[in-house]
Structure 1
Amino acid sequence: MSFLDNGTVKIGADLALGGAITWLSHKERPDNLINSHDLGRQIQMSHYSGPVPFHPEGATLKPEWRTIGWNPIQTGDVFGHPSRVLEHHNDGNQLYVKCVPMHWPLDNVPGECVFEIWTTLDGPTVIMRFRATNARPDQTLYPARNQELPAVYVISALHRFMSYTGERPFTGGDLTHVTNDFHKPWPWTEQTCTESWAALVGDDDWGVGVASGDNCDNCDICIFHGGLFGKAGSREVRDSPTTYLAPVRKEVFDHDIVYDYTTVMTLGTLAEIRARLTARAVRELPTWAFANGRSHWYVIGGVDGGLPRDGLWTIPCEQGMPSLIGPVRCWRAEDAAEIAIEASWNGPAEPARLRWRCLGDRDFSDERSVPFTIPADGMLNRVVVPLAAHPAYQGLITGLRIDPPPGRQPQARLTLRAVVVQRGR
């Protein structure tokens, strides 16, 4: 074990289990909060891609996990083989671990990637920076899948999944107890947490809060998976009952991707958790520029042209009906009158379509959409799409989708440089 302890919070990484976090406690509540019933629990990195199933030749696959696909995780596999730590440093202020993860559903098959974690403490708050570096020989560009950023499993005494889920974030509105039915085949629930944080607390409203984003002062992930598994109330770290929480984002996990994110966890009462984590939440209107990757966008119904190059993300449009979907972000319609799209298009001179989703919408719809025109000259253009007057553009907006023009011709390409949500004139 390797510990950090600042007198308020104590956190421990198990170097025999890939450096996963197996200990978290507060000075006023010194008992361990982390569940370690098996190697799929703990606080740990977990990433997903195709194929589904992922079953390399000669490997043994646990049948009940065949639908999970490619899934390297930090602690170890379902057969009990732990991940191997490659490097570890702890100077009392920062704990660093580098490991080779194991594929959860396979018997003793290491991942073709490495995980790195940098952990520091700030009073009652833990800041963890994560990096996954992929080196897969399989260069297939598989569809985007939800990533756990990270997976957090605690004792079932912290059985209440709490967050703000309403239409007016950052206004002090009532919190929601998010419930799940663990008897279902997928035992967890998915929730849009519109202040970009969630917490697992006990009956006394004390526990751990979690927020994630690109850095510790830019927490913007709004989708969380979580819930109670089994009977509430246990404080035994090896028990089967547990409570789970994970900030999630749908991402394309390229064969050579270097994927970074940061998670902030804080211990305290619900009121303390909310105050600390909303202080780190992003409140500005989103701008997605493609200088350093896809900015958490992905493609459905067509071909992804791969990672952006020179700040430009190119989508081939010769076949299929591709749609570009942005990450879940929350803003009030009255705060953003228009969307600016910097793009080029060299296909037929037909309109593209911008769609938006509101809180509670399961999918994008024709009702919440407008056509817009990108000049078909193959040059980068800035197109401003006004939305304020549209009767269906109201309330809390939670994301965008761009449908390229429907006409197809050889070598047709949509290239994006940026998508900007802006107040307008």
Structure 2
Amino acid sequence: MKKNSFVSAALLIAVLLVGLWNCKDAPLPDPVIGGGGGGPGDGNGTTPPVTTLPPATTVSSATVGPFTYTVPDQPANWLSYNGTQILGLTIGSTTVQESATLRLEVRKEYGGAIQIYDKTTGQYLINFRDKGRESGLASYAGPRSFADDSPRWKGIGYNPLQPGDDGGNPSPILFHGLINGYVYTKVQCFSWAHQDARLLPFFYEQWVRLDDNKVHVKVRLTHQRPDKTFYDFMEQEWPFMMINGARSVRFYNGSAPFTFGPTVTSDGIEQIQNGNPVAQQFTPFHITEPWQAVEIGTNRYIGLCAPYYYRVNHLLGASTAKENWEGGDTHTYVGGRLFSPLDSDNIIEKEYTILVGTENQIREFAYTQPRSTRPDFRFDVAHGRNNWYIFDGGHDQKEPFKTDNWKITYDGKMDNGPLNARGTKLLSPAGSWKASDIDTLYIQMSYSGPENQLNLVWLLNGQQGDAIDPSFPTQNAVRFPRGERPYNGQYVPIPVVNDGKIRTYRVSMKSHPQWIDIIQQFEITHVVGSAVIPPGEKIEMVYFGATNPGN
């Protein structure tokens, strides 16, 4: 099992390195990055332009009633203009909302991407060096070879992006309007990796509204891909933001969430060589409160918060440039990490909030986010996979579900041997559940395969599920203070019946010595063994959670 754990970890790290080192927000080796070479401003200077707030016609941010993803009946004009140049390109037309402390700009030439100006510290906050930065939802799908004909991003795969492509082309805005206090845009995304304005059948609708020190963002992704292949689950950046400059990041991954316990601070730097930071860690990690905050001034932060924001990452890009403006190379990245195959005919709705204020203000808002105190996942037409995913070789009926229940077929993978499904497993989305609140878990499912036992595995807060890379001791101490999950010691067996009939398996958790503190994720795995499990093993998931669903 230890050997398998290291293999699994190595494979996952390899996937992450491809997805992050080659993705649009990852720092490329200096000086090749983003919008190209040269200094800030017009590409030839060495001093960033003085930040000024261009005059603008602001639109109302008042809202009426609950949010329902309603589209405006009529288009609206872009009423303002920002003449600032970034690497020789003018920002251009905008729609603006203002509060006492913030200014929100929705920018036409960036696919409706948003910029936030902080009046307190006098700075634009989000990085706009090229069409691959900004903030929002960055999505990925297979095949990995999709962008192999691109000049710079081979191996990144299928990556529709709201702002535009690597050639500087802005994704076309199909509609811009105002409704119930929200600025609405609908964009057809370009393939980020290409430079030829390559349209993808992927539509990005955004509703955004400024509310005092908060920017509320709702996004609807509509995919209409002619290629109906089921591609592997990939790590999505849902949501992310890239902040100007090299900044410290704060979060909470302790055992007493939602109590204002002491937070953790990280600059994302492992060590310094020749005056420059090196050896950043790409490994995502879990937090127990759904927010991250980036320091932008004395006791002032920009925070990213969403109800599902429990598996995250943060990175520092182009630190050697030592720049701190919206067209600069240097940037601090924070983002959420959900897994999805980006199904070919699906609609995905997500929402998140960006806040500017003190750490306590950001946490207070995060504490108001809807959350489940106990796991409760029903796999039906309404909820689909519930953000669960298949790791290392499997497929399902794709979303949206046409009938209830999640129907999984294990395909296995080939790793220096025969095709084997023993390493394939099901993983839940990340959460923050107190172990003391859960005595029993119920798994309602059917099983068809050669095994008579599966294992229920879990991850504790501050714990890494697989092998930890020892070359990052400083960052490991912050991200994974518990170290690695105990080898073959943090599971409860599930005796399964191989007849394809749906049963409710009752799993007692309270007596396990590792059922403590905060549970962050669940896995359904095979037992450790050397026997090959051929492709074709099936599981049909009906329910997973702490409420007895009945037989």
Q: Is the 8 A contact 2:373 2:434 kept in 1?
A: no
In structure 2, the CA distance between the partners of 1:344 and 1:125, relative to structure 1 (3 Å rule), is same
Matched, 1:177 2:265: yes
Shift of the alpha carbon at 1:5?
2.7
Q: Distance in 2 between matches of 1:156 and 1:289?
A: 43
Matched ranges for 1:78-157 at <5 A:
78-91=166-179, 93-108=181-196, 109-156=198-245
What is the TM-score with the length of structure 1 in the denominator? 0.88
Equivalent residues in 2 for 1:329-340 (5 A)?
A: 329-340=431-442
Residue 328 of structure 1 aligns with which residue? 430
2:131 paired with 1:39: yes
Report Cα offsets for 1:340-396 as digits up to 9, x if no partner.
Answer: 111122445712221112221233752111211244443322211001112232232
CA offset digits 1:71-105 (Å, max 9, x no partner): 11111111211111011112471111110111111
* Among candidates 465, 484, 490, match of residue 362 of structure 1: 465
Question: Matched residue of 1:306: which SS?
Answer: coil
Matches within 5 A, 1:238-249: 238-249=327-338
Other structure's SS at 2:144 match? coil
Distance 2:536 2:154 in 1: 38
Task: Give the drift of 1:315.
Answer: 1.3
Where do 1:25-424 residues align within 5 Å? 25-29=117-121, 31-55=123-147, 60-63=149-152, 65-91=153-179, 93-108=181-196, 109-156=198-245, 159-181=247-269, 190-212=284-306, 219-229=307-317, 230=319, 234-280=323-369, 282-291=371-380, 292-307=383-398, 308-317=401-410, 320-321=421-422, 322-348=424-450, 350-359=452-461, 360-363=463-466, 365-403=487-525, 412-421=537-546
Task: State the one-letter code of the partner of 1:45.
Answer: L
Partner Cα separation in structure 2 for residue 329 and residue 100 of structure 1: 32
Q: CA deviation at 1:191?
A: 3.5
**Cα 1:240–1:411 shift into 2, 3 Å:** closer
Structure 1 residues 397-406 or 331-340, which shifts more? 397-406
Contact 2:135 2:242 in 1 (8 A): yes
Rounded to whole Å, the distance in 2 between the matches of 1:331 and 1:392 is 14
Deviation (angstroms), 1:302: 3.2
Return the alpha-carbon distance in structure 2 between the equivalents of residues 136 and 391 of structure 1: 48
Could you tell me whether the CA contact under 8 Å between 2:248 and 2:268 is conserved in 1?
A: no
**Equivalent residue for 1:216?**
none
Query: 1:173 & 1:323 partners in 2: Cα distance?
Result: 34
Q: Deviations over 1:257-316 (max 9, x none)?
A: 212111111111112111112222525112112122211111123321222442201112
SS at match of 1:372: strand
Task: Report the structure number with the largest CA radius of gyration.
Answer: 2
Distance in 2, matches of 1:62 and 1:205, equals 42
Task: Provide the C-alpha distance between the structure 1 equivalents of 2:146 and 2:121, rounded to a whole number of angstroms.
Answer: 42
Q: For residue 299 of structure 2, what is the amino acid of its counterpart?
A: D
Alignment deviations for residues 388-415 of structure 1 (CA, whole Å, 9 cap, x no partner)? 1122322322111113689969975310
Instruction: Give the counterpart letter for 2:183 in structure 1.
Output: L
The answer as to whether partners of 1:323 and 1:402 remain within 8 angstroms in 2 is: yes
Deviations 1:39-92 (A, max 9, x none): 112123310111113237xxx4123x2132211111111121111101111247
Normalization by structure 2: what TM-score? 0.69
Provide the rounded CA distance (Å) in 1 between the counterparts of 2:537 and 2:321.
56
Segments of structure 2 that go 5 or more residues without pairing to the other structure are 1-93, 271-276, 413-420, 467-484
RMSD: 2.8
Q: C-alpha separation between the residues in 2 aligned to 1:324 and 1:191?
A: 18
Distance in 1, Cα, partners of 2:236 & 2:518: 24
Deviation larger for 281-290 or 291-300: 281-290
Distance of aligned partners of 1:411 and 1:79 in 2 relative to their CA distance in 1, 3 Å threshold: closer
Query: What letter is aligned with 1:100?
Result: Q
**Fraction of identical pairs, as percent:** 25
Letter in 2 for 1:154: I
Q: Give the total of aligned pairs.
A: 412
Q: Matches of 1:50 and 1:318 in 2, distance apart?
A: 17
Structure with the bigger percentage of helix: 2
CA distance 1:283–1:205, shift in 2 (3 Å): farther
- How far apart are the structure 2 equivalents of 1:233 and 1:32? 16
Q: CA deviation at 1:124?
A: 1.6
Tell me by how many angstroms 1:168 deviates. Answer: 2.0
**Secondary structure of the corresponding residue to residue 316 of structure 1:** strand
